[in-house]
Structure 1
Amino acid sequence: MSSRMSDSVKQDIKKDERCTGSSVAVEMSSRMSESVKQDIKKDESLIQGKRSDSPEPSCVSMKSDGSMNPPIFFKDTDCTTDLRLQKKKSNITEKSHLEAIFKDLEHKVISLLQNELKRYKKLLSPDYPACSEREVEDEEDQSSVREGVLKITLHFLKNMKHTDLANTLQNKVTPAYQKKLKSKLREKCKRITEGISQHGSSALLNEIYTDLYITEGWSGDFSNKHEVRQIETVSRRPATQETPIKCNDLFKDKSIRSVLTKGVAGIGKTVSVQKFILDWAEGKANQDVTFMFPLPFRELNLMKQKHLSLMDLLHHFFPEIKELRLIDCERNKVVLIFDGLDECRLPLNFQNNERLWDVTESASVDVLLTNLIKGNLLPSALLWITSRPGAANQIPPECVDQVTEVRGFSDPQKEEYFRKRISDQSLANKIITHMKSSRSLHIMCHIPVFCWISATVLEGMLGEAESGDIPKTLTQMFTHFLIFQIKHKDQKYHQKCEPDPQQTRESILALGKLAFQQLEKGNLIFYEEDLRECGIDVREVSVYSGVCTQIFREEFGLHLGKVFSFVHLSVQEFLAALYTFLSFISRNVTEQQTTDLSDLFTKSNMSDFLSCAVDKTLQSQNGHLDLFLRFLLGLSLESNQSLLRDLLPQTGSSSHSKQGTVEYIKEKIRVNPSPDKSINLFHCLNELNDDSLVQEVQRYLNRKDSWCFDKVRLSPDQWSALVYVLLGSEENPELFILKTYQLSDECLQNLLPVIETARKADLCQCDLTEESCRVLCSVLNSKASSLRELDLSCNYKLKDSGVKLLTAGLKNPHCTLEILNLRECMLTGESCRILSSVLSSNSSRLRDLNLSYNKLQDSGVKLLSAGLENPHCTLEILQVVGCSITVEGFATLVSALRSNPSSHLRELHVYWNKPGETGVKLLYDFLKSPHCTLEKIQLEQFFSLTLKKYITDED
Structure 2
Amino acid sequence: MKNRFECIFEGIETKANKKLLNKIYTDLYITEVDGESMDDEHEVWQLETAFKKQPSRDTPIKCNDIFKPLPGEEGHIRLVLTKGVAGIGKTVSVQKFVLDWAEGTANQHVRFMFVFPFRVLNSVKEEHSLQDLLLGFHPELKSLDRADKYYDSSQTILIFDGLDESRLPLNFQDNEVFFDTNRVSSVDSLITNLIQGNLLSSALVWITTRPAAAGLIPSRYVHQKTEVRGFNEAQKEEYFRKRCEDAEQAEKIVAHIKASRSLQVMCHIPVFCWITAMVFQQILKRSEDSHSEIPTTLTQMYVHFLLIQTSIKDQKYHRGHGPTDRKGLLLSHREAVLKLAELAFRQTMKENIVFSEDDLRECGINADEASVYSGMCTEIFKEESVFFQQKVYCFVHLSVQEFLAAFHAFVAHTNGNFEQLQPLISERRSNRTRPLGQLSLERLLKEALYTALNSKNGHLDLFLRFLLGLALESNQKLLQGLLPKPQQSAETIHHMIRYIKDYRGKGLSPERCINLFHCLLEMNDRTMHRDIQQYLQLEGGSRKDLSPSFCSSLAYVLLMSEEVLDELDLRKYKTSSDEARRRLVPTVRCCRKALFSACNLNEVSCETIASALQSADCHLVELHLSRNDLQDAGAQRLFTAMSSPHCKLETLKIPDCKVTQSSCASLCSALQCPHSRLRELDVSENQLKDSGVMQICKALKDAHCKLQILRLAGCGLTEVACRGLGSALRSPGSTLRELDLTDNPLRDAGAKHLSAALGSPQCKLHILTLLGCLISEEGCLSLASALKSNPSHLLQLDLSYNHPGDMGAEQLSVTQIDAGSSPRAIKVDHGGLCRLRPGLQKYACELTLDMNTAHRKLSLSTDCRSVSCTMRDQPYPDHPDRCDTWQVRCQEPQSLRSYWEVERSGWYGIIVGATYRVSKSSGSETENDNIGHNSWSWSLACYDNRYTARHNRRRTEIPAPVLNAHRIAVYLDWPAGKLSFFIVSGGELTHVHTFYSTFTEPLYPALRFVFAGSSASICEVV
**Aligned match of 2:59 in 233, 238, 243?**
243
Letter in 2 for 1:247: C
Does 2:259 correspond to 1:415?
no
From the superposition, tell whether residues 426 and 293 of structure 1 become closer, same or farther in structure 2 (CA, over 3 Å).
same
Q: Which residue of 2 aligns with 1:541?
A: 367
Q: Is the 8 A contact 2:426 2:450 kept in 1?
A: no
From the superposition, tell whether residues 495 and 223 of structure 1 become closer, same or farther in structure 2 (CA, over 3 Å).
farther
Q: Which residue of 1 aligns with 2:961?
A: 906
Letter in 1 for 2:108: Q
**Aligned match of 1:662 in 487, 494, 510?**
494
Q: Which residue of 2 aligns with 1:550?
A: 375
Higher strand residue share: 2
Q: Deviations over 1:206-249 (max 9, x none)?
A: 1111111111125854877752x2424x7523356521111211
How far off its partner does 1:420 sit?
1.8
User: Distance between the aligned counterparts of 2:552 and 2:495, measured in 1?
Assistant: 19
How far off its partner does 1:201 sit?
2.9
**Aligned match of 2:46 in 206, 231, 239?**
231
User: Distance between the aligned counterparts of 2:626 and 2:353, measured in 1?
Assistant: 42
Letter in 2 for 1:550: G
Q: Which residue of 2 aligns with 1:144?
A: none
From the superposition, tell whether residues 439 and 368 of structure 1 become closer, same or farther in structure 2 (CA, over 3 Å).
same
Q: Secondary structure at the match of 1:385?
A: strand
User: Distance between the aligned counterparts of 2:983 and 2:77, measured in 1?
Assistant: 50
How far off its partner does 1:409 sit?
1.1
How far off its partner does 1:671 sit?
5.3
How far off its partner does 1:199 sit?
6.5
Q: Is the 8 A contact 1:341 1:385 kept in 2?
A: yes
How far off its partner does 1:450 sit?
1.1
Q: Deviations over 1:672-718 (max 9, x none)?
A: 23555455444433333343x359899xx9xxxxxxx9xxx9999x9
How far off its partner does 1:345 sit?
2.0
From the superposition, tell whether residues 666 and 364 of structure 1 become closer, same or farther in structure 2 (CA, over 3 Å).
same
User: Distance between the aligned counterparts of 1:226 and 1:887, measured in 2?
Assistant: 53
Q: Which residue of 2 aligns with 1:892?
A: 909
How far off its partner does 1:306 sit?
2.1
User: Distance between the aligned counterparts of 1:596 and 1:911, measured in 2?
Assistant: 69
**Aligned match of 2:112 in 283, 291, 301?**
291
User: Distance between the aligned counterparts of 1:921 and 1:616, measured in 2?
Assistant: 61
User: Distance between the aligned counterparts of 1:739 and 1:314, measured in 2?
Assistant: 60
How far off its partner does 1:465 sit?
1.8
Alignment of 1:604-753 (within 5 A): 604-646=439-481, 648=482, 651-670=483-502, 672-673=504-505, 676-691=511-526, 693=527
Letter in 1 for 2:296: K
**Aligned match of 1:568 in 386, 392, 397?**
397
Letter in 1 for 2:100: D
Letter in 2 for 1:292: M
How far off its partner does 1:501 sit?
6.1
TM-score normalised over the length of structure 2: 0.52
From the superposition, tell whether residues 235 and 614 of structure 1 become closer, same or farther in structure 2 (CA, over 3 Å).
farther
How far off its partner does 1:566 sit?
1.4
Q: Secondary structure at the match of 1:452?
A: helix
**Aligned match of 1:282 in 89, 103, 120?**
103
Q: Secondary structure at the match of 1:887?
A: strand
Q: Is the 8 A contact 1:299 1:557 kept in 2?
A: no
Higher Rg: 1
From the superposition, tell whether residues 910 and 295 of structure 1 become closer, same or farther in structure 2 (CA, over 3 Å).
same
Q: Is the 8 A contact 1:301 1:344 kept in 2?
A: yes
Q: Which residue of 2 aligns with 1:311?
A: 131
Letter in 2 for 1:268: G
**Aligned match of 2:29 in 213, 234, 239?**
213
Higher helix residue share: 1
User: Distance between the aligned counterparts of 1:249 and 1:723, measured in 2?
Assistant: 26
Q: Is the 8 A contact 1:723 1:751 kept in 2?
A: no
Q: Which residue of 1 aligns with 2:769?
A: none
Q: Secondary structure at the match of 2:207?
A: strand
How far off its partner does 1:439 sit?
4.0
Q: Which residue of 1 aligns with 2:409?
A: 580
From the superposition, tell whether residues 314 and 687 of structure 1 become closer, same or farther in structure 2 (CA, over 3 Å).
closer
User: Distance between the aligned counterparts of 1:214 and 1:417, measured in 2?
Assistant: 16
User: Distance between the aligned counterparts of 2:982 and 2:29, measured in 1?
Assistant: 52
From the superposition, tell whether residues 938 and 274 of structure 1 become closer, same or farther in structure 2 (CA, over 3 Å).
closer
Letter in 1 for 2:212: G
How far off its partner does 1:620 sit?
4.0
Q: Is the 8 A contact 1:858 1:888 kept in 2?
A: no
Greater relative contact order structure (CA < 8 Å, 6+ sep): 1
How far off its partner does 1:308 sit?
2.2
Structure 2 residue runs without a partner (length 5+): 70-74, 324-328, 431-435, 587-593, 600-624, 629-657, 659-843, 859-866, 870-897, 911-940, 948-956, 973-980, 995-1022
Q: Which residue of 2 aligns with 1:149?
A: none
Alignment of 1:112-261 (within 5 A): 185-198=1-14, 200-218=16-34, 220-221=36-37, 227=43, 229-232=44-47, 235-238=49-52, 241=55, 242-253=58-69, 255-261=76-82
From the superposition, tell whether residues 791 and 574 of structure 1 become closer, same or farther in structure 2 (CA, over 3 Å).
same
User: Distance between the aligned counterparts of 1:294 and 1:749, measured in 2?
Assistant: 40
User: Distance between the aligned counterparts of 1:190 and 1:684, measured in 2?
Assistant: 39
Does 2:418 correspond to 1:589?
yes
Q: Secondary structure at the match of 1:277?
A: helix
Alignment of 1:791-802 (within 5 A): none
Letter in 2 for 1:634: G
Does 2:486 correspond to 1:486?
no
Q: Deviations over 1:561-585 (max 9, x none)?
A: 4432112222111101100000011
Residue identity over aligned pairs, in percent, reads 42
From the superposition, tell whether residues 573 and 753 of structure 1 become closer, same or farther in structure 2 (CA, over 3 Å).
farther
Q: Secondary structure at the match of 1:544?
A: helix
Alpha-carbon RMSD: 5.1
From the superposition, tell whether residues 520 and 440 of structure 1 become closer, same or farther in structure 2 (CA, over 3 Å).
farther
User: Distance between the aligned counterparts of 1:555 and 1:898, measured in 2?
Assistant: 65
Q: Is the 8 A contact 2:113 2:158 kept in 1?
A: yes
Letter in 2 for 1:580: A
Does 2:201 correspond to 1:379?
yes
Q: Is the 8 A contact 1:551 1:566 kept in 2?
A: yes
User: Distance between the aligned counterparts of 1:723 and 1:350, measured in 2?
Assistant: 32
Q: Deviations over 1:410-429 (max 9, x none)?
A: 22211211122223444333
Q: Is the 8 A contact 2:569 2:595 kept in 1?
A: no
From the superposition, tell whether residues 913 and 235 of structure 1 become closer, same or farther in structure 2 (CA, over 3 Å).
closer
Alignment of 1:867-946 (within 5 A): 885-888=902-905, 892=909, 896-898=943-945, 904-906=959-961, 910-912=968-970
Letter in 1 for 2:462: L
User: Distance between the aligned counterparts of 1:683 and 1:755, measured in 2?
Assistant: 20
How far off its partner does 1:258 sit?
1.0
From the superposition, tell whether residues 696 and 652 of structure 1 become closer, same or farther in structure 2 (CA, over 3 Å).
same
From the superposition, tell whether residues 439 and 520 of structure 1 become closer, same or farther in structure 2 (CA, over 3 Å).
farther
User: Distance between the aligned counterparts of 1:630 and 1:508, measured in 2?
Assistant: 20
TM-score normalised over the length of structure 1: 0.56
Q: Which residue of 2 aligns with 1:775?
A: none
From the superposition, tell whether residues 511 and 255 of structure 1 become closer, same or farther in structure 2 (CA, over 3 Å).
same
Structure 1 residue runs without a partner (length 5+): 1-184, 702-708, 732-737, 767-788, 793-818, 820-851, 864-880, 928-933, 940-955
Q: Which residue of 2 aligns with 1:476?
A: 300
From the superposition, tell whether residues 614 and 622 of structure 1 become closer, same or farther in structure 2 (CA, over 3 Å).
same
Q: Secondary structure at the match of 2:295?
A: coil
Q: Is the 8 A contact 2:152 2:200 kept in 1?
A: no
User: Distance between the aligned counterparts of 2:396 and 2:258, measured in 1?
Assistant: 24
